[in-house]
Structure 1
Amino acid sequence: MRTGYRPPVLDAEADARPSARGTAGRRASLGHPVLLLVGIVLASLNMRAALASVSPLVGEIAAAFGLSSTASSLVTSVPVLFLGVGALVAPWLGRHFGAERVLLAALVLLGAGILVRVLPSVYALYGGGVLVGTAIALLNVLMPGLIKRDFPDRAASMTSLYTGAMIAGATVAAAASVPLEQALGGGWEGSLGFWSLLAALAALAWLPQVLIARGRTGDEVRIVPAAPARSVWRSALAWQVTLFMGLQSLWSYVLIAWMPTIFTDHGMSRSTAGVVFAFNNLIQVAGAFAVPLLAGRMRSQRRLVVLVTTLVAAGYAGLMVAPVQGAWLWSALLGIGQGGAVGLALTLIVLRTGDAVTASRLSGMAQTVGYLLAAAGPLAAGAVHQATGSWTVPIVLVLCVCAAALGVGLPAARDAKV
């Protein structure tokens, strides 16, 4: 891990406020890291659960509102689009209101968005998706900066923890969607709405972070630069990290949106398709946990880029040639590759930056551009499938995305700083 960490300069009351390292020390003396870890894990569980819970139910949602394939793909594309839009404002909100307060507000907004999404209106369905995507964007963008600030010497291992929790939340949500639907009376609305309880629990767990931060300093610690810094938007390395983030997000959200449908279109039962999809999410935990730990021990992460893109490409190729016959194998290959890729992308944000300020800025850039790019994936895949009547062409296009991700990922993984 990198040594010689320079604590960030704080805002107008810098002389009266602690450094990031001093803040971590105060938290240790207060026993605060335990509460912080619980808050991080519960917040991370929510980062994909509200998205993954939709995929097994897309067919029923489309039938309920009479949606075409393209229109039903918007159920998953709209939240992903607003992952990018919300990421635009997340760094600004974090600097002006404090990461703790914004993360709490994001969890409350997420719970509200989930409930709006199940109202009996197609406008509410999409409007709730806007709220869900915006809330998750705030969580996504602020978490790397928070970890860089409070755990500067354990950034890779903490990234491993929260990406593992994020994938675990998606796994549970995907596996439970259909059983919850049956247990709650056979309606998809109850199954989707259930996940607002997870957001509420995380908000309650995060509330002490706001109260402790206010009690310690009179307000949350706000990390801002000492002087105007060179914009990350002008850095070639930042763009390489950003594009790798976006391309791996694109292939992941295509699967989140369409994997169960690909299986059912080839004759698999809906319940079995849901289980295979849940298995895919479960296997992602292994990749999401292991790859950041490995990345933190390497000066260059190029071998990891090759590994995760190859696994994803192999899994997609299997879906194209024998989707049902090799479903479990393709699901495993894709799962390890997907989890490893998202863990690697988030770790690169931390490893390619030298301080919490730059990490926050790069996180905002990577997730703004990345998720705007990724939002096109489910929509384009649904439209091409509707036009061709087959999943072959959409999958070939995703294989091209894998090649592009390899092309930008290799330079993004070199030993350098933004």
Structure 2
Amino acid sequence: MTAMTTTATGRRTAWRLVLPAAALVLVALCLRAPFTAVGPLLGELGGELSLSTGALAVVTALPLLCFGLVSPFAPSLAARLGVHRAVLLGVVALVAGVLLRLAGAPGLYAGTVLLTAGIAVANVLLPAAARAEYGARSALVLGMIVASMAASASIGAGLAQPLADVAGSAVLGLALWAVPVLVALAAIAALARERWRAPRPAAAPRGARAALLRDRVALLVTLFFGLQSLAFYAMLTWLAEILEDDAGVSPVTAGGLVALAAALGVPAALLVPPLAARRPGQGGWVVLGTVPVLVGIVGLLIAPGAAPLLWALLYGAGTGISFPLAMTLVLQRTRDVGQTGRLSASAQSLGYLVAATGPLAVGLLHEATGGWEPGLVFLLGVVAAQLAVGLAAARPRLVGEGV
């Protein structure tokens, strides 16, 4: 074989390694922005569509509820269609939902349900797709996927108003997210076509879902995912108002601090999965992801105005570490692609339903007491439970091995 032939073969091999990861990352980049872009535009949407504040609040609650309700069906879809084609179907639903939001107020609700259902399928199956493509080396790709999700959330919130200004209305601004989703659709369609003969994950045996939740390892991973999600979404929902009311910062500064805190999830997502996967146990990473949040919450309780930047960064750093760690535990505690998909579905289904209660609980406690201290104490208890559950989930055991 000549040197030129060897070089060409090496380049083809490199592209075959890079292209699947690129397709999966492009999909991940579309899995948060279409719904995080809604929050900054709620006032304009209410005016354009004649919706009350309560009606708009329902729109913001729909994504987490859809994640929780749709996620359990993703593994069955993968067993029927194959992992790649199931992800493709999820992206098709995503682009259809984004475009459906052009149809006035009913379209806003229906489109949000449809696009978040598609996101839920992709959320669950992207780790399984990464495992199917890269096997034992999938932790690095998983990190890229999770980082892309975090970046997507930040990009969606940051570009919401500029896109609405360019489009001339909030509704049209939301519809512009169809452009990157269509790019991702083309990429995952090409990958699914290449993998159409790939073996499909085995369908779960009857009662497998219930059996999974009776398994101690699976239950611990699921609980850890839910508790860290609750802390993260409570931060996104209420931290800005806490900083305004208790730390005395301006609304613009409070929003900037929350955005900065959330952005810490991007580098964390790139670093945590490959590093945490190097060892059989991940207890140190659990501590690293929970203790900063505990310190941040205590700071907000005791001296909120003393160092609001520090408290926000500690909260963001801890939650930024915990999410990719939760996704890594799904990989590290399972044996094969099918089991990875089932545990991912379990963790995300129950986890996001748990997460949906957090912002609501903090808000109700504030409404009942007029202060943020009860809600912060509640979050302190949640994160303390996350630490205990995480340390147990981090032990080097696989699903089915018990304690």
Q: What TM-score do you get using the length of structure 1 for normalisation?
A: 0.83
Instruction: Decide which of 179, 182, 200 is 1:197's aligned counterpart.
Output: 179
Q: Distance in 1 between matches of 2:367 and 2:118?
A: 31
Name the amino acid aligned to 1:257: T
- Say what the alpha-carbon RMSD is for the aligned residues: 2.7
Does residue 44 (structure 1) correspond to residue 24 (structure 2)? The answer is no
Name the amino acid aligned to 2:309: W
**Worse-superposed segment, 246-255 or 324-333:** 324-333
Q: Counterpart in 1 of 2:69?
A: 85
Q: Counterpart in 1 of 2:229?
A: 249
Q: Deviations over 1:122-166 (max 9, x none)?
A: x44333332232111101111111122221121221221111111
Q: Distance in 1 between matches of 2:293 and 2:103?
A: 36
Distance of aligned partners of 1:272 and 1:39 in 2 relative to their CA distance in 1, 3 Å threshold: same
Q: Counterpart in 2 of 1:278?
A: 259
Instruction: Decide which of 221, 231, 240 is 2:199's aligned counterpart.
Output: 221
Distance of aligned partners of 1:323 and 1:192 in 2 relative to their CA distance in 1, 3 Å threshold: farther
Alpha-carbon deviation of 1:51? 3.3
Q: Distance in 1 between matches of 2:173 and 2:306?
A: 30
- Unpaired runs of 5+ residues, structure 1, are 1-27
The 3-state SS of whatever aligns with 2:280 is coil
Q: Counterpart in 1 of 2:3?
A: none
Q: Distance in 2 between matches of 1:258 and 1:180?
A: 25
Alignment of 1:7-406 (within 5 A): 31-58=15-42, 60-61=44-45, 65-68=51-54, 72-117=56-101, 119-121=103-105, 123-185=106-168, 187-214=169-196, 217=197, 220-224=198-202, 231-263=211-243, 268-320=249-301, 326-406=307-387
- Is the 8 Å Cα contact of residues 175 and 277 (structure 1) preserved in structure 2? no
Distance of aligned partners of 1:312 and 1:52 in 2 relative to their CA distance in 1, 3 Å threshold: farther
* % identical aligned pairs: 37
Q: Distance in 2 between matches of 1:180 and 1:258?
A: 25
Name the amino acid aligned to 1:297: R
Distance of aligned partners of 1:356 and 1:126 in 2 relative to their CA distance in 1, 3 Å threshold: same
- Unpaired runs of 5+ residues, structure 2, are 1-11
Q: Distance in 2 between matches of 1:176 and 1:324?
A: 30
Alpha-carbon deviation of 1:321? 5.1
Q: Distance in 1 between matches of 2:223 and 2:165?
A: 40
Q: Distance in 2 between matches of 1:183 and 1:354?
A: 48
Q: Distance in 2 between matches of 1:120 and 1:264?
A: 34
Q: What TM-score do you get using the length of structure 2 for normalisation?
A: 0.86
Alpha-carbon deviation of 1:302? 0.9
Q: Distance in 1 between matches of 2:173 and 2:83?
A: 31
Distance of aligned partners of 1:272 and 1:65 in 2 relative to their CA distance in 1, 3 Å threshold: farther
Q: Distance in 2 between matches of 1:200 and 1:173?
A: 16
Name the amino acid aligned to 1:373: V
- Is the 8 Å Cα contact of residues 111 and 196 (structure 1) preserved in structure 2? yes
Alpha-carbon deviation of 1:332? 1.8
Alpha-carbon deviation of 1:406? 1.2
The 3-state SS of whatever aligns with 1:158 is helix
- Is the 8 Å Cα contact of residues 30 and 149 (structure 2) preserved in structure 1? yes
Q: How many residues are aligned here?
A: 383
The 3-state SS of whatever aligns with 2:313 is helix
Q: Distance in 2 between matches of 1:152 and 1:138?
A: 21
Distance of aligned partners of 1:60 and 1:338 in 2 relative to their CA distance in 1, 3 Å threshold: farther
Q: Distance in 2 between matches of 1:194 and 1:399?
A: 39
Q: Distance in 1 between matches of 2:306 and 2:40?
A: 20
- Is the 8 Å Cα contact of residues 73 and 257 (structure 1) preserved in structure 2? no
RCO higher in structure (CA 8 A, sep ≥6): 1
- Is the 8 Å Cα contact of residues 366 and 372 (structure 2) preserved in structure 1? yes
Alpha-carbon deviation of 1:269? 4.7
